[in-house]
Amino acid sequence: MNILVTGGSGFIGSHLVERLLSEGHKVVTLDDMSTGRMHYLSQVMRNKNHKFVQDSVTNRKAVDKLAKQCDVIYHLAAVLGVKNTVDNPLKVIEGNIDGTRAILEAAYKYNTKVVFSSTSEVYGKNPNMPFKETGDRVLGAPSVHRWCYATAKALDEHMCFAYADKGLPVTVIRFFNTYGPRQNSSQYGGVVSRFIKAALTGEPIEVYGDGTQTRCFTFVDDCVDGTMKAMDPKANGLAFNLGTDRPISVLELANKIRELAGSASPIVRKSYEEAYGPGYEDMPARMPDLTRSKEILGYNPSVSLEEGLMKTIDWFRRNMPN
Ligand SMILES: NC(=O)c1ccc[n+]([C@@H]2O[C@H](COP(=O)([O-])OP(=O)(O)OC[C@H]3O[C@@H](n4cnc5c(N)ncnc54)[C@H](O)[C@@H]3O)[C@@H](O)[C@H]2O)c1
Protein backbone atom coordinates (compact mmCIF):
# COMPACT_ATOMS: atom_id res chain seq x y z
CA MET A 1 0.00 0.00 0.00
CA ASN A 2 0.97 3.64 -0.36
CA ILE A 3 1.21 5.16 3.09
CA LEU A 4 1.73 8.70 4.34
CA VAL A 5 3.26 9.10 7.80
CA THR A 6 3.09 12.60 9.27
CA GLY A 7 5.63 13.19 12.01
CA GLY A 8 7.63 10.29 10.52
CA SER A 9 11.01 11.75 11.53
CA GLY A 10 10.01 11.76 15.19
CA PHE A 11 10.45 9.16 17.88
CA ILE A 12 7.47 6.84 17.24
CA GLY A 13 7.03 7.88 13.59
CA SER A 14 10.54 6.83 12.54
CA HIS A 15 10.05 3.35 14.04
CA LEU A 16 6.70 3.11 12.25
CA VAL A 17 8.24 4.13 8.91
CA GLU A 18 10.91 1.42 9.25
CA ARG A 19 8.29 -1.20 10.08
CA LEU A 20 5.97 -0.22 7.20
CA LEU A 21 8.84 -0.41 4.70
CA SER A 22 9.99 -3.76 6.08
CA GLU A 23 6.49 -5.10 5.42
CA GLY A 24 6.62 -4.02 1.77
CA HIS A 25 4.66 -0.76 1.82
CA LYS A 26 5.63 2.43 0.00
CA VAL A 27 6.00 5.27 2.46
CA VAL A 28 6.08 9.05 2.28
CA THR A 29 7.28 10.80 5.44
CA LEU A 30 5.92 14.32 5.95
CA ASP A 31 7.67 16.22 8.73
CA ASP A 32 8.54 19.85 9.41
CA MET A 33 11.58 18.77 11.48
CA SER A 34 10.52 20.83 14.50
CA THR A 35 11.44 17.95 16.83
CA GLY A 36 12.11 15.23 14.23
CA ARG A 37 15.70 14.33 13.38
CA MET A 38 17.03 13.37 9.96
CA HIS A 39 19.33 10.70 11.39
CA TYR A 40 16.31 8.85 12.83
CA LEU A 41 15.52 8.03 9.20
CA SER A 42 19.09 7.08 8.27
CA GLN A 43 18.15 3.41 7.82
CA VAL A 44 15.43 4.21 5.28
CA MET A 45 16.64 7.25 3.36
CA ARG A 46 18.14 5.12 0.59
CA ASN A 47 15.17 2.80 0.39
CA LYS A 48 13.56 3.31 -3.03
CA ASN A 49 10.12 2.80 -1.47
CA HIS A 50 10.62 5.76 0.85
CA LYS A 51 10.27 9.46 0.13
CA PHE A 52 10.84 12.30 2.57
CA VAL A 53 8.97 15.60 2.31
CA GLN A 54 9.93 18.45 4.62
CA ASP A 55 6.79 20.50 5.13
CA SER A 56 4.09 21.22 7.68
CA VAL A 57 0.84 19.29 8.01
CA THR A 58 -0.78 22.70 8.12
CA ASN A 59 0.20 23.28 4.48
CA ARG A 60 -3.12 22.29 2.92
CA LYS A 61 -1.81 22.26 -0.63
CA ALA A 62 1.01 19.85 0.23
CA VAL A 63 -1.28 17.68 2.35
CA ASP A 64 -3.91 17.51 -0.40
CA LYS A 65 -1.35 16.38 -2.96
CA LEU A 66 0.02 13.67 -0.67
CA ALA A 67 -3.40 12.47 0.53
CA LYS A 68 -4.49 12.00 -3.08
CA GLN A 69 -1.61 9.60 -3.68
CA CYS A 70 -1.97 7.32 -0.67
CA ASP A 71 -4.22 4.58 0.71
CA VAL A 72 -3.59 5.20 4.42
CA ILE A 73 -2.46 8.22 6.43
CA TYR A 74 -0.80 7.73 9.80
CA HIS A 75 -1.13 11.13 11.44
CA LEU A 76 1.48 11.42 14.19
CA ALA A 77 2.70 15.00 13.70
CA ALA A 78 2.03 16.91 16.90
CA VAL A 79 3.42 19.26 19.51
CA LEU A 80 3.71 17.38 22.79
CA GLY A 81 5.53 17.16 26.09
CA VAL A 82 4.14 18.03 29.51
CA LYS A 83 6.47 21.01 29.84
CA ASN A 84 5.29 22.39 26.51
CA THR A 85 1.69 22.42 27.75
CA VAL A 86 2.65 24.81 30.56
CA ASP A 87 5.39 26.80 28.76
CA ASN A 88 3.88 27.03 25.25
CA PRO A 89 0.13 26.38 25.41
CA LEU A 90 -0.70 28.16 22.14
CA LYS A 91 1.96 26.20 20.30
CA VAL A 92 0.47 22.99 21.71
CA ILE A 93 -3.11 23.93 20.86
CA GLU A 94 -2.38 25.13 17.30
CA GLY A 95 0.18 22.37 16.71
CA ASN A 96 -2.39 19.71 17.48
CA ILE A 97 -5.53 21.12 15.95
CA ASP A 98 -4.65 22.91 12.70
CA GLY A 99 -2.73 20.00 11.16
CA THR A 100 -5.29 17.37 12.13
CA ARG A 101 -8.02 19.44 10.54
CA ALA A 102 -6.02 19.72 7.31
CA ILE A 103 -5.32 15.97 7.28
CA LEU A 104 -8.96 15.01 7.88
CA GLU A 105 -10.28 17.42 5.25
CA ALA A 106 -7.92 16.04 2.62
CA ALA A 107 -8.52 12.43 3.65
CA TYR A 108 -12.28 12.95 3.40
CA LYS A 109 -11.93 14.38 -0.10
CA TYR A 110 -10.17 11.22 -1.31
CA ASN A 111 -11.76 8.72 1.14
CA THR A 112 -8.33 7.85 2.51
CA LYS A 113 -8.08 5.84 5.72
CA VAL A 114 -6.65 7.82 8.65
CA VAL A 115 -5.04 6.43 11.79
CA PHE A 116 -4.83 9.26 14.31
CA SER A 117 -2.39 9.12 17.24
CA SER A 118 -4.04 10.33 20.40
CA THR A 119 -2.97 9.94 24.00
CA SER A 120 -3.86 8.47 27.39
CA GLU A 121 -3.87 12.10 28.54
CA VAL A 122 -7.42 12.42 27.15
CA TYR A 123 -8.71 10.49 30.20
CA GLY A 124 -7.29 13.23 32.42
CA LYS A 125 -7.85 12.53 36.10
CA ASN A 126 -10.62 10.00 35.67
CA PRO A 127 -10.35 7.88 38.84
CA ASN A 128 -11.99 4.81 37.25
CA MET A 129 -9.08 2.58 36.37
CA PRO A 130 -8.31 0.79 34.11
CA PHE A 131 -9.42 3.26 31.45
CA LYS A 132 -11.84 1.84 28.90
CA GLU A 133 -11.96 3.62 25.53
CA THR A 134 -15.55 4.59 26.27
CA GLY A 135 -14.58 6.02 29.68
CA ASP A 136 -15.14 9.62 30.70
CA ARG A 137 -12.69 12.46 30.32
CA VAL A 138 -12.17 14.25 33.64
CA LEU A 139 -10.13 17.44 33.35
CA GLY A 140 -9.32 20.56 35.32
CA ALA A 141 -10.31 24.12 34.45
CA PRO A 142 -9.47 25.48 30.96
CA SER A 143 -7.55 28.31 32.68
CA VAL A 144 -4.99 25.67 33.72
CA HIS A 145 -2.67 25.20 30.72
CA ARG A 146 -1.69 21.73 31.87
CA TRP A 147 -4.91 20.40 30.28
CA CYS A 148 -4.48 21.99 26.85
CA TYR A 149 -2.76 19.00 25.21
CA ALA A 150 -5.44 16.59 26.47
CA THR A 151 -8.13 18.98 25.28
CA ALA A 152 -6.59 19.55 21.84
CA LYS A 153 -6.12 15.82 21.27
CA ALA A 154 -9.70 15.18 22.41
CA LEU A 155 -10.99 17.80 19.99
CA ASP A 156 -8.97 16.06 17.27
CA GLU A 157 -10.67 12.82 18.26
CA HIS A 158 -14.07 14.53 18.03
CA MET A 159 -13.17 15.61 14.49
CA CYS A 160 -12.14 12.03 13.65
CA PHE A 161 -15.42 10.61 14.93
CA ALA A 162 -17.44 13.33 13.19
CA TYR A 163 -15.77 12.39 9.90
CA ALA A 164 -16.34 8.69 10.70
CA ASP A 165 -20.07 9.49 10.85
CA LYS A 166 -19.75 10.97 7.38
CA GLY A 167 -18.20 7.71 6.14
CA LEU A 168 -14.46 8.35 6.49
CA PRO A 169 -12.50 5.24 7.49
CA VAL A 170 -10.70 6.52 10.57
CA THR A 171 -9.20 4.91 13.68
CA VAL A 172 -7.97 6.60 16.86
CA ILE A 173 -5.12 5.07 18.83
CA ARG A 174 -4.27 6.27 22.33
CA PHE A 175 -0.64 5.75 23.33
CA PHE A 176 0.26 5.20 26.98
CA ASN A 177 3.76 6.41 27.94
CA THR A 178 5.68 5.04 24.98
CA TYR A 179 9.46 4.83 25.42
CA GLY A 180 12.42 3.50 23.47
CA PRO A 181 15.37 4.51 21.29
CA ARG A 182 15.08 8.05 19.85
CA GLN A 183 12.70 9.39 22.48
CA ASN A 184 13.25 13.08 23.19
CA SER A 185 15.43 13.31 26.31
CA SER A 186 15.29 17.09 26.74
CA GLN A 187 13.22 18.78 29.44
CA TYR A 188 10.33 18.58 26.94
CA GLY A 189 10.74 14.81 26.54
CA GLY A 190 9.48 11.71 28.33
CA VAL A 191 10.37 10.53 31.80
CA VAL A 192 12.17 7.35 30.70
CA SER A 193 14.55 9.14 28.34
CA ARG A 194 15.18 11.93 30.86
CA PHE A 195 16.05 9.39 33.56
CA ILE A 196 18.32 7.42 31.23
CA LYS A 197 20.17 10.53 30.09
CA ALA A 198 20.72 11.56 33.71
CA ALA A 199 21.80 8.04 34.71
CA LEU A 200 24.34 7.83 31.89
CA THR A 201 25.80 11.28 32.45
CA GLY A 202 26.01 10.97 36.24
CA GLU A 203 23.57 13.87 36.71
CA PRO A 204 20.87 13.62 39.42
CA ILE A 205 17.78 11.65 38.37
CA GLU A 206 14.96 14.08 39.13
CA VAL A 207 11.69 12.50 40.29
CA TYR A 208 8.83 14.98 40.24
CA GLY A 209 6.35 14.85 43.14
CA ASP A 210 6.73 12.05 45.70
CA GLY A 211 7.36 9.44 43.01
CA THR A 212 4.43 7.21 44.01
CA GLN A 213 2.50 8.09 40.83
CA THR A 214 2.24 5.01 38.60
CA ARG A 215 2.35 4.64 34.83
CA CYS A 216 2.24 1.77 32.34
CA PHE A 217 5.32 2.19 30.15
CA THR A 218 5.15 0.75 26.66
CA PHE A 219 8.15 -0.14 24.51
CA VAL A 220 8.02 1.48 21.10
CA ASP A 221 8.03 -1.86 19.20
CA ASP A 222 4.79 -2.89 20.96
CA CYS A 223 3.31 0.54 20.28
CA VAL A 224 4.22 0.25 16.57
CA ASP A 225 2.76 -3.25 16.47
CA GLY A 226 -0.65 -1.98 17.61
CA THR A 227 -0.36 1.01 15.29
CA MET A 228 0.19 -1.29 12.30
CA LYS A 229 -2.87 -3.34 13.26
CA ALA A 230 -5.02 -0.20 13.43
CA MET A 231 -4.88 -0.02 9.63
CA ASP A 232 -7.36 -2.91 9.49
CA PRO A 233 -10.87 -1.86 8.35
CA LYS A 234 -12.41 -3.64 11.35
CA ALA A 235 -10.84 -0.89 13.48
CA ASN A 236 -12.70 1.87 11.63
CA GLY A 237 -14.73 4.30 13.70
CA LEU A 238 -13.19 3.19 17.00
CA ALA A 239 -10.58 4.32 19.54
CA PHE A 240 -8.03 1.86 20.94
CA ASN A 241 -5.75 1.98 23.97
CA LEU A 242 -2.18 1.00 23.11
CA GLY A 243 -0.15 0.46 26.24
CA THR A 244 0.66 -2.22 28.77
CA ASP A 245 -1.28 -3.11 31.88
CA ARG A 246 1.81 -3.36 34.11
CA PRO A 247 1.99 -0.25 36.31
CA ILE A 248 5.20 0.87 38.01
CA SER A 249 5.77 3.92 40.19
CA VAL A 250 8.03 6.66 38.88
CA LEU A 251 10.35 6.23 41.86
CA GLU A 252 10.67 2.49 41.15
CA LEU A 253 11.34 3.34 37.52
CA ALA A 254 14.15 5.69 38.54
CA ASN A 255 15.72 2.97 40.71
CA LYS A 256 15.39 0.38 37.94
CA ILE A 257 17.02 2.62 35.34
CA ARG A 258 19.82 3.53 37.73
CA GLU A 259 20.46 -0.16 38.39
CA LEU A 260 20.24 -1.31 34.74
CA ALA A 261 22.51 1.51 33.60
CA GLY A 262 25.04 0.76 36.37
CA SER A 263 24.79 4.41 37.36
CA ALA A 264 25.86 6.20 40.52
CA SER A 265 23.52 9.14 39.87
CA PRO A 266 21.63 10.25 42.98
CA ILE A 267 17.83 10.12 42.82
CA VAL A 268 16.43 13.47 43.94
CA ARG A 269 12.88 14.73 44.42
CA LYS A 270 11.64 17.90 42.79
CA SER A 271 8.22 19.40 43.48
CA TYR A 272 5.77 19.78 40.61
CA GLU A 273 5.86 23.49 41.27
CA GLU A 274 9.64 23.60 40.74
CA ALA A 275 9.34 21.49 37.60
CA TYR A 276 6.29 23.00 35.95
CA GLY A 277 5.36 26.13 37.88
CA PRO A 278 2.44 26.77 40.24
CA GLY A 279 -0.85 24.88 39.95
CA TYR A 280 0.44 21.80 38.14
CA GLU A 281 -1.65 18.72 38.73
CA ASP A 282 -0.46 15.18 38.07
CA MET A 283 -2.46 11.97 37.87
CA PRO A 284 -1.66 9.49 40.67
CA ALA A 285 -2.12 6.56 38.26
CA ARG A 286 -2.84 5.78 34.65
CA MET A 287 -3.61 2.33 33.28
CA PRO A 288 -5.34 1.15 30.11
CA ASP A 289 -7.99 -1.50 29.73
CA LEU A 290 -6.66 -3.52 26.79
CA THR A 291 -9.73 -5.72 26.22
CA ARG A 292 -10.84 -3.97 23.03
CA SER A 293 -7.33 -3.71 21.56
CA LYS A 294 -6.68 -7.39 22.23
CA GLU A 295 -10.05 -8.58 20.90
CA ILE A 296 -10.38 -6.43 17.79
CA LEU A 297 -6.78 -5.65 16.82
CA GLY A 298 -5.12 -8.79 18.21
CA TYR A 299 -2.75 -6.42 20.08
CA ASN A 300 -0.48 -8.20 22.50
CA PRO A 301 2.38 -6.16 23.98
CA SER A 302 5.22 -8.57 24.68
CA VAL A 303 8.34 -6.58 25.59
CA SER A 304 9.09 -6.62 29.32
CA LEU A 305 10.06 -3.36 31.00
CA GLU A 306 13.58 -4.67 31.75
CA GLU A 307 14.14 -5.73 28.12
CA GLY A 308 12.78 -2.47 26.73
CA LEU A 309 14.80 -0.36 29.17
CA MET A 310 18.01 -2.25 28.34
CA LYS A 311 17.49 -1.67 24.61
CA THR A 312 16.80 2.00 25.27
CA ILE A 313 19.81 2.42 27.55
CA ASP A 314 22.03 0.74 24.93
CA TRP A 315 20.74 3.11 22.27
CA PHE A 316 21.37 6.19 24.42
CA ARG A 317 24.86 4.93 25.26
CA ARG A 318 25.68 4.68 21.56
CA ASN A 319 23.95 7.88 20.47
CA MET A 320 24.37 10.45 23.21
CA PRO A 321 26.83 13.21 22.40
CA ASN A 322 29.94 12.98 24.62
N1 LIG B 1 5.67 9.41 23.11
C2 LIG B 1 4.58 9.16 23.82
O3 LIG B 1 4.66 8.56 24.91
C4 LIG B 1 3.22 9.54 23.32
C5 LIG B 1 2.13 9.34 24.17
C6 LIG B 1 0.87 9.68 23.71
C7 LIG B 1 0.70 10.17 22.43
N8 LIG B 1 1.77 10.36 21.63
C9 LIG B 1 1.51 10.88 20.28
O10 LIG B 1 2.29 10.14 19.34
C11 LIG B 1 2.67 10.97 18.27
C12 LIG B 1 4.18 10.90 18.06
O13 LIG B 1 4.83 11.36 19.23
P14 LIG B 1 6.40 11.21 19.47
O15 LIG B 1 6.59 10.82 20.88
O16 LIG B 1 7.00 10.38 18.40
O17 LIG B 1 6.86 12.74 19.36
P18 LIG B 1 7.94 13.46 18.43
O19 LIG B 1 7.99 14.88 18.86
O20 LIG B 1 9.22 12.69 18.43
O21 LIG B 1 7.27 13.35 17.00
C22 LIG B 1 6.41 14.32 16.46
C23 LIG B 1 6.88 14.60 15.05
O24 LIG B 1 5.97 15.49 14.45
C25 LIG B 1 6.72 16.48 13.74
N26 LIG B 1 5.86 17.68 13.60
C27 LIG B 1 5.41 18.49 14.59
N28 LIG B 1 4.63 19.46 14.07
C29 LIG B 1 4.58 19.23 12.73
C30 LIG B 1 3.92 19.88 11.65
N31 LIG B 1 3.16 20.96 11.84
N32 LIG B 1 4.08 19.37 10.42
C33 LIG B 1 4.85 18.28 10.19
N34 LIG B 1 5.49 17.62 11.19
C35 LIG B 1 5.36 18.09 12.43
C36 LIG B 1 7.97 16.71 14.56
O37 LIG B 1 9.04 17.28 13.84
C38 LIG B 1 8.28 15.26 15.00
O39 LIG B 1 9.07 14.60 14.06
C40 LIG B 1 2.15 12.37 18.61
O41 LIG B 1 0.93 12.57 17.94
C42 LIG B 1 1.94 12.31 20.11
O43 LIG B 1 0.96 13.23 20.52
C44 LIG B 1 3.03 10.06 22.04
Q: Write out the E strands in 166-305.
A: 170-175, 178-179, 205-208, 214-215, 218-219, 239-242, 248-249, 267-270
* The overall pTM is greater than 0.95: yes
Mutate to test the pocket of ligand 1, among 76, 131, 176, 193 (most ligand atoms within 8 A of CB): 76
- The three-class DSSP label of residue 267 is strand
**pLDDT tens sequence across 106-157:** 999 999 999 999 999 999 999 999 999 999 999 999 999 999 999 999 999 9
Looking at the DSSP bridge assignments, the partners of residue 207 are 269
Q: Is the pLDDT of residue 185 over 90?
A: no
Dihedral sign computed on CA atoms, order 87, 5, 100, 284: negative
| Span from the CA of 262 to the centroid of ligand 1 (angstroms) | 30
**pLDDT tens sequence across 68-105:** 999 999 999 999 988 888 889 999 999 999 999 999 99
Report the pLDDT averaged over residues 29-41.
Answer: 96
Q: Is 110 a catalytic residue?
A: no
Percent of the chain past pLDDT 90, that is, above it, reads 90
CB 251 within 8 A of CB 195: no
Among 152, 49, 58, CA closest to 30: 58
Domains of the chain: 2-177+220-244+287-301 (3.40.50.720)
Rounded to whole angstroms, the Cα distance separating 83 from 56 reads 22
**Residue 103 — φ and ψ, nearest 5°?**
-65, -45
Crossing angle of the two packed helices 305-319 and 250-260, in degrees rounded to 10:
60
**Residue 182 — φ and ψ, nearest 5°?**
80, 0
